[in-house]
């Protein structure tokens, strides 16, 4: 049984992870969009490729993320990877094939880059709002 990827739900998940409101996404997509249209879009199983490309550009997330992300698979991978060891006898000694400190530093750098991008977007939004107020 093949499970279908729900692209609208994926748009909603990524939008929420980025802490972007439906109104803000609608504003970035253009004058034709409003909060209600975004809500209806997020309920669609399949979204047109051209629209996915627009959303991808606005959220700065690859189109493939909306097309391929499956929460069920992600949960299965996590649950199969980690266990709750109640007794020490069943514990597994895992020797990572990567440098955990380097990975943490990489995540930290990515977080800083994200914050900088968010600040830049906030500044751009402020400029847009100032132009709207000034008109």
In this prediction, residue 73 has a pLDDT band, given cuts at 50, 70 and 90, of low
Q: What is the pLDDT of residue 92?
A: 64
Average pLDDT over residues 37-57: 91
Q: What is the pLDDT of residue 67?
A: 83
3-state percent helix, strand, coil for the chain, nearest multiple of 5: 70, 0, 30
Find out whether 24 and 34 touch, Cβ atoms under 8 Å.
no
- The 10s digit of each residue's pLDDT in 88-104 is 555 566 676 778 888 89
């Amino acid at each position: 049984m093949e499970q279908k990827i729900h692209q609208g739900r994926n748009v909603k998940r990524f939008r929420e992870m980025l802490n972007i409101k439906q109104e803000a996404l609608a504003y970035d997509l253009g004058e034709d969009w409003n909060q209600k249209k975004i809500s209806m879009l997020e309920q669609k199983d399949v979204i047109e490729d051209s629209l996915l490309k627009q959303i991808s550009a606005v959220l700065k997330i690859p189109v493939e993320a909306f097309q391929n992300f499956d929460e069920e698979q992600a949960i299965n991978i996590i649950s199969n990877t980690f266990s709750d060891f109640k007794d020490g006898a069943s514990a597994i000694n895992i020797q990572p094939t990567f440098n955990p400190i380097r990975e943490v530093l990489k995540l930290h750098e990515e977080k800083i880059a994200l914050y900088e991008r968010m600040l830049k977007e906030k500044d751009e939004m402020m400029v847009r709002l100032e132009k709207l107020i000034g008109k």
